[in-house]
Structure 1
């Protein structure tokens, strides 16, 4: 995966920006297109915040569509390789691609229960987590109201944006001047 300096990114055309960052929001390049309007970006955190701001300023229908664009964790799309490359890498990074049949059945059961109750997939920024932490989060979050889970899904997506953009954008540290 290539990493880019902010100086380079601020010179990107919309097409290049979309080519590089269009997959940050799962199957929803519109987030990237709108975030581009905030260029030039003063910092990596500013770029990350622009993606979060776009999501949080969107209408609830667009937010729900983006939530629903996310694959189930350790679900059929994962096994079939039908996810954004970032999702594949993130899920593999926490071992969700190497579940036992029993663990896969647990994830399937929780995914189905969650989607049945809330009408959208369980969103969890998996980077740095374990499969056990994810399963525990399912159990805890299945007790939340629909509004609480909608808000939590948006928070988790913003975390996913952060992780993905941190992988794509080199953090530039200001030089120390004595």
Structure 2
């Protein structure tokens, strides 16, 4: 990352034109820069939390088909397919790059069953979790009804994007008056 990226602040985000804003924040929601595009018009933002809230509302208020595309844009956990750098780092942090062959096979089978049932991949904010937590979660969630799992997936996307925004804009609480 460049020094400029590491020193992003909410004030710098607020000073950006739409193209710069989407370039800076377009990757927060997996392969969905349209979320940043839609959020831009609601600035200026007073905090990272407000920015995140607006981005979440932009995603949740999109047409059903666009939300479904957002859900489908997430990679399978522990997949050997190409993932974004943010997803790869998140999965490595949870130990998904160090699965035994048996764990990889189980997770692959659970992912396939989940995707077949729900038509989108299993989505989980993996920060702070280990591979056993993840395998347990998908094993439980694959048995839920679609409506419940749709909401859970959006909730998890909220956690993931919150982590990503706070990593990008690491302002400390109480610095703004």
TM-score of the pair, normalised by structure 1:
0.92
Q: Which runs of 5+ in 1 are unaligned?
A: none
Q: 1:111 to 1:176 in 2, by over 3 A?
A: closer
User: In the alignment, does 2:75 pair up with 1:71?
Assistant: yes
Q: 1:61 to 1:173 in 2, by over 3 A?
A: same
TM-score of the pair, normalised by structure 2:
0.92
Q: Which aligned pairs between 1:1-178 and structure 2 lie closer than 5 A?
A: 1=1, 2-3=5-6, 4-77=8-81, 82-174=82-174
Q: Deviations over 1:131-161 (max 9, x none)?
A: 1111111111112101111111111111111
Aligned CA-pair RMSD: 1.6
More contact order relative to length (CA 8 Å, sep ≥ 6): 1
The alpha-carbon deviation at position 173 of structure 1 amounts to: 3.4
Q: 1:36 to 1:174 in 2, by over 3 A?
A: same
> Is the Cα contact below 8 Å between 1:10 and 1:41 reproduced in 2?
yes
The alpha-carbon deviation at position 30 of structure 1 amounts to: 0.4
- Return the alpha-carbon distance in structure 1 between the equivalents of residues 173 and 162 of structure 2: 18
